[in-house]
Chains A and B, each alone.
Chain A
Amino acid sequence: MATIVDITEEKALKVKDFEFTYAGTDAPSIKKLTMPIAKHSITALIGPSGCGKTTLLRSFNRMHDLYPGNKYNGEIIFKERNILTPKEDLIKLRIQIGMIFQKPTAFPMSIFDNVAYGLRLQGIKNKTELQGRVEKALQDAAIWNEVKDRLKHDANGLSGGQQQRLCIARAVAVEPEILLFDEPTSALDPISTAGIEELIVELRDRVSIIIVTHNMQQAARVSDYTGFMYLGELVELGRTEELFVTPKERLTEEYITGKFG
């Protein structure tokens, strides 16, 4: 059984006995995983490549449903309901739980239209409201000053780091409750990485954040809680400063001291 620290805050998500099996495979990629996620804090998921971090993260917004044949078992409780039931409204769920991908995913449209995309999906048409919310989101993502003079330009003209911040702006524009980040800086240079990390920390006051990273230093720098996963299971979830200094599980210690991974 995993060692899980007592979380005193409210929970953003509660994962209970969760299992996930990809289409065409027999063994589950996530096995009987139980894990609380604290509200208004940053939880990092670390672990060796292939341990199931991405798989778990993509279960929180049911991204796996885009491909046929994948199977969920157990529960993921969000706002007092299990989001794994067939009657879950995935469109609403994904508005409340946003996602930032490994590679920037700027849409082939203008910077403004990128950020307005989610807002327009929700039926917001009023020009002044759109403009106000786009500007605010770009400010929240610390990219407003760089793009305010070229909102009509194609988003693909931005640098990688700028595109990633644009994607964050696009995600925060719809005011989600949870933001999922899957290795958001692995395609970026160190300076852009530092910028994104700073931004993630600033967002904590408004959203609960779960970030997958293969970079332990990054987890240590930005997160409040860290979960260490291994072979589809959660080994340990602790307060970040404790987990990295005094891990409770031998496996965790071996991983953070670089004995494997």
Chain B
Amino acid sequence: MTHTQKRIIINNLVMVLSTLSAVIGIGFLIWILGVLVINGIDALSMTIFANEGAPPGNEDGGLKHALIGQLILVSYATLFGVPLGVLAGTYLSEYGQKAKLAETIRDVSDIMMSAPSIVIGAFVYAIVVAPSGHFSGWAGSIALTIIMLPIVLRTTDDMLQLVPSTLREAAFALGAPKYKVITQVVYRGAKAGILTGILLAVARVAGETAPLLFTSFNDNFLNTDMSQPMASLTVTMYNYATSPYEDWQKLGWAAAFILSMFILTLNILGRLFLLKKRGK
């Protein structure tokens, strides 16, 4: 066998193997989505949105409590996490730059991003739940905030650094003070990227279960009091899906479907923002 023949064979082998892997990967994705859509749509009904939890065997149990709880938990996390993350990212890109402190914050936030979310749940359990003596919506939102923060911070940092420095210089050259350069010119230049980062961060925390198990826990009924345990789609789904009751399992599918659609929408929106930005 000549050298060239050998190379052609290896070439083809690699191509076939990598294509196969891609097909397997996508195959699983389609399978998961397919099962989810079939079971999810089957389980959907108006009562799901109108009713709260019900004991097993009761036909008209719903997910209203979990939907609203989820919305509240994620909203508060966004309310805390986005301004904190954007401001911290602004510090990194516009003030800290290559300084030691800034580099350290970048490293720490990268580590936090890859930390298992259950660890963050345990941390919030230790500092909020245990001292206060009970699970609460606040504890859940704090856990989600901590997960969200490094994502928003790093995207903000990255997106701001992508804004050409000549744009900043041009604003300074017109006599703009630094805070106006940042808020009026740099933020505008990075708007689409930061918005995408925020949407992806919201999508990420919306799918979290483990940190909520330790913090906001669950409630089978509608509760909007943040100082009390609060239902979420993820924890509800976990409870219902692992229960032995068929009607609860059905609700679990519905929760999985709604959650996935929500996260999918956020992801698509985020990508659209970026595409629109690049398009012009």
Contacts and interface: CB of A to CB of B under 8 A. Distances in A.
Interface of A: 61, 63, 66, 91-92, 94-95, 98-99, 101-103, 105, 107-109, 117-118, 121-122, 154, 156-157, 167, 170-171, 174
Contacts of A108: 185, 188-189, 191
A99 B280 contact: no
B280 A121 contact: no
15 contacts: A61-B173, A66-B169, A91-B175, A91-B176, A94-B172, A99-B170, A101-B170, A102-B166, A105-B170, A107-B189, A108-B185, A108-B191, A117-B184, A121-B174, A170-B174
Contact of B174 (A66, A94, A103): A94
A12 B280 CA distance: 41
Given A63-B172, A66-B169, A105-B166, 8 more contacts: A91-B177, A94-B175, A98-B174, A99-B169, A107-B185, A108-B188, A121-B176, A157-B280
Instruction: Name which of B170, B172, B191, B280 has the most chain A CB atoms within 10 A of its CB.
Output: B170
Nearest to A65: B172
B169 A101 contact: yes
Contacts of B169: 63, 66, 99, 101, 105
Interface string B167-207: 11111111111001000110011010000000000000000
B188 A118 contact: no
Chain B: interface residue count, which band?
Answer: 20 to 34
B175 A92 contact: yes
A118 B172 CA distance: 10
A174 B176 CA distance: 12
Contacts of B177: 91
Given A121-B180, A156-B280, A157-B280, A107 B167 contact: yes
A180 to B, nearest CB: 8
A223 B189 CA distance: 35
Nearest to B174: A118
A99 B177 CA distance: 16
A117 B174 contact: yes
Given A101-B169, A154-B280, A167-B170, A107 B188 contact: yes
Nearest to A167: B170
Contacts of A102: 166
Contacts of B184: 107, 117
Q: Which 8 A-B pairs rank lowest in CB-CB distance, beginning with the nearest?
A: A105-B170, A95-B175, A99-B173, A118-B174, A94-B175, A108-B188, A91-B175, A108-B189
Contacts of B173: 61, 63, 94, 98-99, 101, 171
A167 B171 CA distance: 11
A187 B271 CA distance: 32
B175 A107 contact: no
A110 to B, nearest CB: 11
Nearest to A91: B175
Interface in B193-226: none
Contacts of B174: 94-95, 98, 117-118, 121, 170-171, 174
A95 B166 CA distance: 17
A227 B169 CA distance: 25
A147 to B, nearest CB: 17
A94 B171 CA distance: 10
Instruction: Name which of A91, A154, A157 has the most chain B CB atoms within 10 A of its CB.
Output: A91
Contacts of B175: 91-92, 94-95, 118, 121-122, 174
Contacts of A103: 166
Nearest to A68: B97
B248 to A, nearest CB: 51
A167 B170 CA distance: 9
Nearest to A96: B175
Nearest to A117: B174
A108 to B, nearest CB: 4
A92 B155 CA distance: 34
A101 B280 contact: no
Contacts of A121: 174-176, 180
Contacts of B164: 105
